[in-house]
Structures are given as C-alpha cells and as structure tokens.
C-alpha cells in the first residue's frame, strides 16, 4: 500500500518577505496572521527549526541565507505558513583566468583561456588583451597562435549588481629566429687594412644564443659578431649569419663585403641594376679651341641601393629621374642598359586593360633616353613602342648546352 504525505498549511499565517535580497542588506521577514495571537512564533528554514521566536525574523543577507522560510505558532507547529523563497544576489567575486596546460607555448599551438567567477545571477564574461576588447564567453581560444599574440590577458565578469576584473595572465609565445639581418660597422668605403665587424641581429623567443657565420657557404666563425682585423682582397665575398634557439634556426640574406666597390652593402637576387651612359660635347665656332674646352661626361652607373625598397616601380622612377636630370644637364646621348625590361608582358590590349609596356616606353622617351639596351623582350614587336633605337639582346646562345 502506497503512503502519501500531505503538507497542511494554516491559512491564517503568511510570511511577508522580498524574494530577492542584495548581499549584506538587512531584511526583515514578518509572520502575519489574521488572528489575534499572543503566543510565541516558530521560524523554519528549509523545514529546519530556527532559534527565533519573535514575529519578525531579521537577516543580514549572507549568501547562506538563501532558502525557503515559513513560520508557525507554538503549540500549532503542525499548521505552518506556506513557505516563501528568498534568494541572496551579489556581484561577481573571485574572478580568475586559467589556461589549458602548464607548459610553454610555442608558435603554432592552440591556447584556451577560461574565466571563472562567483556571482548571482551568473555574470557575463568579456575578454581583453591590454585595453583591447577581444570577445565574450567563458572561454577565449586562439588556434595556430603567432608571436604577435604574446601579451597580458584578463577577463571581466559583470551582472546587474556590479563587475570585477581578473588578474592578468601573461601569454608568452616561443618562436624560432626570424628577421635575421647582418649589419656592418660604419657606412663608408672599406680600404685594405681596415678593421671590419659584421653583426647579426634576430627576433626570437627565447633570444638566439647560437650564431654561425658563413662566407660563400663556408663556415668562418661563430658568435653574434664576426670581425676581420686587417681587411684585404682575400676577405672579399658574400657573408651571411645563421641564428638558432631551441625552437629552430634561420639564416640571413647575404651581404657583399668588398674593397672594389667602395661600399659594403646587402644584396639579394631581386636587386635591380640600372645603367646610364652619357656623352656631352660643347661645340665652339672656333674648332681650334684648346682641348680642355671639350667637355665629356664619363659613363655613369646607377644602382638601386639595397637599403631601400626593392620594388620595380621605385627602380623605374629612379631611372626616369636620373635620365631627366642628365637631359637637363646638356647630355647629348643617354643610353639606358636595362637587363630586364619591366612590364614587358603587358604589351597587348586585354578587354579594357592598359598596355603598360607602351606607357613605360613613352615615359622613357619623355625623360630623355635616346637609346636602350635590354635582353629577351617578351615580344620582339615591343621595339615598335619606342621612338628611339632599341637593342634587344638574346641570352639563349649562352645558355644552350652543346
């Protein structure tokens, strides 16, 4: 036989109390009755008897005070009032950030940060890196992390009763060396007998501790600096360094160090070299003028500095400026030697596109060039774009194997 338990309440008793109470706020619960009673009252919390016998129950609203309250008249404990629920609400507290795993973070790893807080009602979470808002949610994830993600992260928890931010957690991303570069002491001409020092710089975490130096792919030394106490022609060549830490290694671009050019500079395969040969002669009515009255400019070689942007448009602009300067300086003939003619593939009209090769030919003529020498134009018909002679040399005879 099933046993059924029925709760019987007194319709004459009722507890008056707010449902939501802010933490640390004093609140009073009153046991009201329609009868004129002078007997002592009994209070219950979650059906457990409290040691309070007055008509009013005073609470200081601690979190533990949340629960269901009812009251009854002594001697009639079997007829309590209907229970009322009281919930203590409070702003976020004890906000903290935790990270998945405890080992070091290496570039390419996935990282998840979790935010925890104690609040009622539950808080909304926002994520920050420094002062930058990143997103929201209990978890913030970074997949394929990069070195740029290193920094201090924290979360902020907020509900309608207040907010609190966590302490910052530092994300330190380890990565192998990159941006390797070689610098040379001084920037003037290297003369035989000078002391030359090459320095290797890199960006890595942790900092690179092992540096190796190479000349023409042959190992010549180690350390962050490489010095030559008395430079001579046998030391001329292309040098590069390699930086290494526990996460990997990378080599720098090669640097040409020589006494013949006067300057040591960085060089790469994509350097653009432009030449201009200028001849200028001042004519006199009297052809018997002394020989020193004749003026002839020597050949001028213009080379794009390696320290500037290695961009074909920059090289073109430098050639145009130099040619125009020579033209306005009474140059009679300006011959440009351009081993690779830029934009030579853009020599046909496609839909409404631009024939850039024709535009460049016009710009060179306007700048003052009177002759160019180039190699392997994309189409030999391109020579028709120019209003001055063009020598289109062919490299194939030197490349064909016999």
The closest of 391, 288, 376, 387 to 340, measured between CA atoms, is 376
pLDDT at 188: 60
Q: Return phi, psi of residue 252, to 5°.
A: -85, 170
pLDDT at 138: 93
pLDDT at 315: 83
| 14-43 burial code (b ≥16 CB/10 A, e <16) | bbebeeebebeeebebebebeeeeeeebbb
What 3-state DSSP class applies to 399? helix
Helix axes 312-327 and 356-367, enclosed angle (nearest 10): 30
> What's the CATH fold of domain 273-399?
Rossmann fold (3.40.50)
pLDDT in tens, 222-231: 999 999 988 8
Chunk the chain into consecutive blocks of 10 residues (it has 402) and report each block's average pLDDT, rounded to whole numbers. 52 84 90 76 90 87 90 85 92 93 88 94 94 93 92 95 94 94 78 88 93 92 91 88 94 83 41 42 47 44 45 85 86 83 77 80 89 83 85 75 49
pLDDT in tens, 118-162: 999 999 999 999 899 999 999 999 999 999 999 999 999 999 999
The CATH code for residues 177-266 is: 2.60.40.10
- Long-range (24+ apart) CB contacts under 8 A made by 126-135 are 126/155, 126/156, 126/158, 127/153, 127/154, 127/155, 128/153, 128/154, 128/155, 128/156, 129/153
pLDDT at 358: 86
- Asked whether this chain's domains 13-82 and 273-399 adopt the same fold, the reply is no
Cis peptide before 206 (omega within 30 of 0): yes
CA Rg value for the chain? 43
Q: What share of the chain is helix, strand, coil (3-state, %, to 5)?
A: 10, 45, 45
> In the CATH hierarchy, which top-level class contains the domain 13-82?
mainly beta
* pTM of the predicted model as reported, rounded to 2 decimal places: 0.55
Residue spans per domain, the chain: 13-82, 91-171, 177-266, 273-399
Round to the nearest angstrom and report the end-to-end CA distance of the chain.
110
Architecture of the domain spanning 91-171: Sandwich (2.60)
Q: What is the DSSP string of 163-229?
A: EEEPPPEEE-EEEEEEEEEEEES-SS---TT--EEEEEEEEEESPP-EEEEEETTEEEEESSEEEES
Q: Which neighbouring-strand residues pair with 273?
A: 303
């Amino acid at each position: 036989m099933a046993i059924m338990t029925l709760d019987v309440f007194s319709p004459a008793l009722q507890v008056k109390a707010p449902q939501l109470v802010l933490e640390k706020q004093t609140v009073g619960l009153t046991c009201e009755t329609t009868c004129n009673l002078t007997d002592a009252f009994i209070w219950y919390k979650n059906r457990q008897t409290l040691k309070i016998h007055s008509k009013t129950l005073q609470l200081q609203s601690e979190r533990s005070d949340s629960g269901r309250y009812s009251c009854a008249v002594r001697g009639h404990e079997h007829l309590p009032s209907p229970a009322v629920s009281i919930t203590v609400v409070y702003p976020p507290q004890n906000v903290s950030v935790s990270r998945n795993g405890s080992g070091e973070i290496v570039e390419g790893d996935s990282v998840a940060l979790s935010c925890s807080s104690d609040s009622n009602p539950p808080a909304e979470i926002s994520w920050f890196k420094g002062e930058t808002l990143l997103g929201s949610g209990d978890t913030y994830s970074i997949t394929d992390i990069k070195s740029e993600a290193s920094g201090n992260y924290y979360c902020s928890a907020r509900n309608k009763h207040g907010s609190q931010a966590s302490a910052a957690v530092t994300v330190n991303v380890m990565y192998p060396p990159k941006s390797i570069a070689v610098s040379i002491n001084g920037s003037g001409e290297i003369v035989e007998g000078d002391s030359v020092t090459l320095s290797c710089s890199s960006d890595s975490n942790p900092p690179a501790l092992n540096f190796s130096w190479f000349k023409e792919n042959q190992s010549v030394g180690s350390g962050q600096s490489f010095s030559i106490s008395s430079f001579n022609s046998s030391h001329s060549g292309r040098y590069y360094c390699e930086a290494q830490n526990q996460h990997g290694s990378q080599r720098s671009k090669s640097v040409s160090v020589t006494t013949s050019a006067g300057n040591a500079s960085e060089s790469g395969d994509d350097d653009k070299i432009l030449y201009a040969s200028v001849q200028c002669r001042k004519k006199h009515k009297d052809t018997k003028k002394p020989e020193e009255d004749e003026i002839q400019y020597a050949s001028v070689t213009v080379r794009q500095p390696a320290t500037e942007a290695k961009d074909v448009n920059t090289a073109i602009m430098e050639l145009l400026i130099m040619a125009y300067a020579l033209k306005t300086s009474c140059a009679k003939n300006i011959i440009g030697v351009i081993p690779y003619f830029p934009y030579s593939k853009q020599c046909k009209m496609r839909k409404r596109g631009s024939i850039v090769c024709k535009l460049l030919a016009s710009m060179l003529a306007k700048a003052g060039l009177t002759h160019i020498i180039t190699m392997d134009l994309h189409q030999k018909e391109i020579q028709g774009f120019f209003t001055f002679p063009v020598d289109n040399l062919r490299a194939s005879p030197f490349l064909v194997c016999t």
